[in-house]
Amino acid sequence: MQVKSGMNDKHAGLGMDEAALTEQVADAMKAASRAYVEALVRDLAVAGYTGLTPAKTALISRIPADGATASALAQVASRSKQAVGKLVLELENAGYVRRIPDPDDKRGQLAVLTDRGRQVVEDGVRIKARLAMQASAVLGEERMERLHRDLEALTRLLASRF
Partner DNA sequence: CACTATCGTCAATGTGGTTGTCGATATAGA
Partner DNA sequence: TCTATATCGACAACCACATTGACGATAGTG
Residues lying near its own copies in the complex (CB under 8 A) are found at: 1-3, 11, 15-16, 18-19, 21-33, 35-39, 42, 125, 128-139, 141, 143-148, 150-155, 157-159, 161-162
* CB 48 to its own copies: min, Å: 17
Q: Which of 40, 44, 56, 124 binds DNA (CB under 7 A)?
A: 56
Q: How far is CA 56 from the centre of its chain?
A: 10
Q: Taking CB under 7 A as the rule, does residue 118 contact DNA?
A: no
Gap between the Cα atoms of 60 and 113, Å rounded: 8
| Partner from its own copies, DNA, none binding residue 102, C-beta < 5-8 Å depending on class | DNA
Gap between the Cα atoms of 114 and 141, Å rounded: 35
* Residue in 38, 36, 63 with CA at minimum distance from that of residue 120: 63
Residue 54: strand pairing partners = none
CB 84 within 8 A of CB 77: yes
Stretch that binds DNA, among 9-17, 98-106, 123-131, 132-140 (CB under 7 A): 98-106
Helix (H, G, I), strand (E, B) or coil at 109: strand
Mark residues 59-88: x for contact with DNA by CB under 7 A, - for none. ----------xxxx-----xxxxxx-xxxx
Q: Between residues 1 and 107, which has the closer beta carbon with respect to its own copies?
A: 1
Q: Between residues 100 and 139, which has the closer beta carbon with respect to its own copies?
A: 139
Q: Please tell me what DSSP assigns to residue 65.
A: T
Burial of 120 (0-12, 13-18, 19+ CB in 10 A): buried
Q: Between residues 92 and 123, which has the closer beta carbon with respect to DNA?
A: 92
Give the binding site for DNA (CB under 7 A): 53-56, 69-72, 78-83, 85-89, 99, 102, 104-109
